[in-house]
Structure 1
């Protein structure tokens, strides 16, 4: 069939089809050979090296650590205004670790009582504590967020502050760590380590505070 026998509509359709095939072929070629993409992005890290600010010796024995994950469900409502107009609802996934430690640097002179006759050593350990929540940034992110029209437009000029989400996540993980018994586990692990050390020296380790608690 010659072009003369085709209607103008068919001619236009054939041209459009050819153009689409060419575009698809070019896109496929660019995806296979990224160097051919004239609009490819390039990332440059111009950050300087990290500078050492201070060095300090640590005297903390970290005897237990827990891994936690929490989903923060935070909603901000505006009184008398529909959610579609103003307000936000955010689901924030956070993963972090909390360790329990005992600060051996606070041991007093009376922390150890040695009885040479009985070959015993009484050890009075400080109270175990929980360290600050350490969030895993690679696995901490905003899962979903719904905003009203006003908040959506405002976020284009003022990016939303996520500090509230991080603070809530750290608090919730910290509260979970308190209920997980990490401090008792850290104290028990330290007692076992000291018991083995003193046993190798020919002494029996005793922990009077732990026995009376």
Structure 2
């Protein structure tokens, strides 16, 4: 080679080029996998589902009847309740921006009050000889379990730390709201116990039994709750 001439660039062997492309391909595959996960978990752009052609298909099987129970109670009243649940979970040593959740949830539900007529025995009903008067001794009304209405219940806001958001990406049930639902049902049940639902149920049950027995020919009907 003469002096002053530039040395032509040497081409890398095929094995060297493949070694350099290896990390790049790995990073591209990882980025693609994360993109698929993000697209599956959240809607980054409004109307993206329509552009991608995503459809909702119901492949659920038929409902199976597991058991049948005879009902021997009369529901004399039902109350409709609504409560705003503000549930916050914090980590002691981490700021909320890193670890912690706060959910503001509006819950609507109903609670029924009933009288258990199946508990009435022969000693609970007294009829005179002329069958003109009857006395019934019934148990006090009770409250049923609260039932949340999913169509009228909704989350107003959800605040999650960075670690919680990352956990939701790889979770089978992200942003689990079971704790919020349980707390809402508990608060609605407490409100029902403080109301006059049981008294109203006993009053309506008495009116129902009086009307039915008087239609059968009884002139005097007395209903007491013990």
TM-score between the two structures when normalised by the length of structure 2: 0.71
User: Secondary structure, in 3 states, of the residue corresponding to 1:124?
Assistant: strand
Which residue number corresponds to residue 128 of structure 2? 115
Which residue number corresponds to residue 220 of structure 2? 204
User: Secondary structure, in 3 states, of the residue corresponding to 2:123?
Assistant: coil
Which residue number corresponds to residue 90 of structure 1? 103
Which residue number corresponds to residue 66 of structure 2? 53
Specify every segment of 5 or more residues in structure 2 that has no aligned partner in the other structure, as ranges: 1-46
Root-mean-square deviation (CA, aligned residues, Å) is: 2.0
Which residue number corresponds to residue 157 of structure 2? 144
How many residues were matched structurally? 175
**Superposition pairs of residues 102-181 of structure 1, within 5 angstroms:** 102-116=115-129, 119-158=132-171, 159-181=174-196
Which residue number corresponds to residue 198 of structure 2? 183
C-alpha spacing 1:154/1:60, structure 2 compared with 1 (3 Å): same
Post-superposition CA distance 1:181-210 (Å, at most 9, x none): 111111100101111222231331113447
User: Secondary structure, in 3 states, of the residue corresponding to 2:76?
Assistant: strand
Shift of 1:60: 1.1
Larger of the two Rg values belongs to structure: 2
CA contact 2:73–2:115 (8 Å) conserved in 1: yes
CA contact 2:138–2:224 (8 Å) conserved in 1: no
Which residue number corresponds to residue 16 of structure 2? none
C-alpha spacing 1:148/1:39, structure 2 compared with 1 (3 Å): closer
C-alpha spacing 1:110/1:76, structure 2 compared with 1 (3 Å): same
User: Secondary structure, in 3 states, of the residue corresponding to 1:110?
Assistant: helix
Partner Cα distance (2:207, 2:83) in 1:
32
Shift of 1:108: 1.3
Partner Cα distance (1:75, 1:205) in 2:
54
Partner Cα distance (2:51, 2:99) in 1:
41
Shift of 1:178: 1.1
C-alpha spacing 1:128/1:209, structure 2 compared with 1 (3 Å): closer
Which residue number corresponds to residue 13 of structure 1? none
Shift of 1:38: 6.2
